[in-house]
Structure 1
Amino acid sequence: MVGVVLSAVITATILVTGAVAQVLGTEPGAASPQQRPCMDRGWRFPVVEMSGGPREVLWKGPTRSWAKGAIIVLHGGGGEHVQWCVSNLGLTAAQVRFSELAVEEGFAVFLLNSSSEVRDNQGRVCGKIWDDEVRDRPNLDLPFIEQVIRQVMPPLRPTGSEDAVFLTGLSSGGYMTVRAATHFNALVTAFAPVSSGDPYGWHRRCEAGLAPRIKVEGAGYDNETGKQITERASCASPSYPNEARWDDGKALTKPSFRLFHHEMDGINDLSCAVKAARQLNAHGYPSEPDFLLRGGRRSLANHLWQDEYNRPILDFFASRLDR
């Protein structure tokens, strides 16, 4: 594993009552079997206790200061945060290499784990995904992300560290990246959604059943076309009258973004990324040109995190430090 095991053990549980948080302790031996291989590689695990129950975080940073700030990583639907610190499958190896490279280059990396409690507006269970769309109830994940930024990170940040906070995520985690970066635009320095689209302009239709569920149950649809986002041109529309109202953290200067995706993504059509960029620009978010991979056939494989994204994402984040 690239990077050095941190000497500081994060023994933190964040207990939240309203806006109040208190830091308490946990021991490494309490790690789950899934977390232990990450712990063996130097990752630590604060647990954030929210009103709906405990939420998991894994983190690792450079041995000294966080010279380039911190990156929050949001996994894809049906995934786990541990897939970014240890890989038993070739499909997730590129994700682990991203985390390793980030720590090696001076970023602290925070891996957040979604719940399995998300339901759609009809109350149907959606599976293990992020609460990445606008629904008729309080969001389950925005308070979690806020506590990581405001309460978990500050006591861990070594003296002399860069205080920049970056967001990236894959698929459902990419949609949640856009949602969180706009909701907390005064707290986020820059963001890089991967294989994702516009969280304010789509919805899921999930399946009735009992929570929790490990896999994703249901499908995503564009609000304008009514098409499933797997279909060609599913998010292509001349205007967006059915867009939900956008969150706005009232930043004086909004964070910049860069989209990363594949033109032959068979799960989240290219048109959905185009729509996301157009809407972000329309709401005042400056952008760098998309990083677009080309070639091949439309497939699930082209939806996944690619090694080709790793260096450009880190370079993009590093370029924001002097802005």
Structure 2
Amino acid sequence: MVKGKTPHVLSFINLKGGVGKTTTAVAVAEILALEARQRVLLIDLDPQTNATVNLISEEAWDELDRSGRTIAQLFDDKINHHLEPKFDIERAIVRRVSTVNGGIEALDLLPSSIRLIELQDHIPGIAMMGNFTNNPLDILKKALQPVIDRYDYVIIDCPPSLGTVTRNGLRMSTGYVIPTIPDIVSTWGIYQIVDNVRRFAADIGQTIEPLGIVATKVQKNNLHDRVMNDLAHGRLGKFNAAGVQQPRFFESTIPLSVNVARGADHEADLRTLNGKYGPQAYVALQVLTREIWALCEANSQ
């Protein structure tokens, strides 16, 4: 990482849970760090904490959460601004994370917490609590300022909503990726994501481009084939009728894999990413990561 260089910051978003969003975000972060030799920070903004416990053990996460070293403490400090702040970005970031081979040297994690569930509804009102110097949308961006230029890529796993927590991620993002199962229910909200992010970016005077849509948990059936064909030809849902261009469809599609659950097992003694994700899914995730990397590097020219 060149000192002072702006990293690529990518949010992974879908309004529906269970679509492989977190698995895709974690895998892209791991491959960028291990194989592309990029310095990567993964930020887990989802209170389900799936990305966190995919990269560190539940015991390690519990200790971090109890000691105020998760993203929840950052927001808690701003909500309870009359109390002495506890969050310290240097102490919260966990270095060298992954279930693979004891951790990946170039991959760091800012962990999440289930406490975000109870905090997230209070975040929009921070400025109205007498804390007028704090914009609720800038909390994450300001917290990362001391460390952001250490990284080439920042991958943000967003919750399945477009609320204030997700907008904190988007506020610092240079682009976003939409993982989706290629079925009707999972793709239904993609137009809403693109339209909302486009309007949000315009409101804050920022460019946040969709890098693309990636099909996940793909199975060999007529429905998945038909939806992927629509995605490949820009025919998804309301885009044409609304006059909004559908984001590109990534060439790489991620097959449904039985290895994913095992990949989050810290007792499984995993040595390689191939072993973590399974050969077929791993190759697809490699190709996807190369596509994302190429787009980011082209955009920075």
The TM tier, using the shorter chain, reads: 0.3 to 0.5
Q: Which structure has more strand as a fraction of its residues? A: 1
Q: Which structure has more helix as a fraction of its residues? A: 2
TM-score by length of 1: 0.37
TM-score by length of 2: 0.39
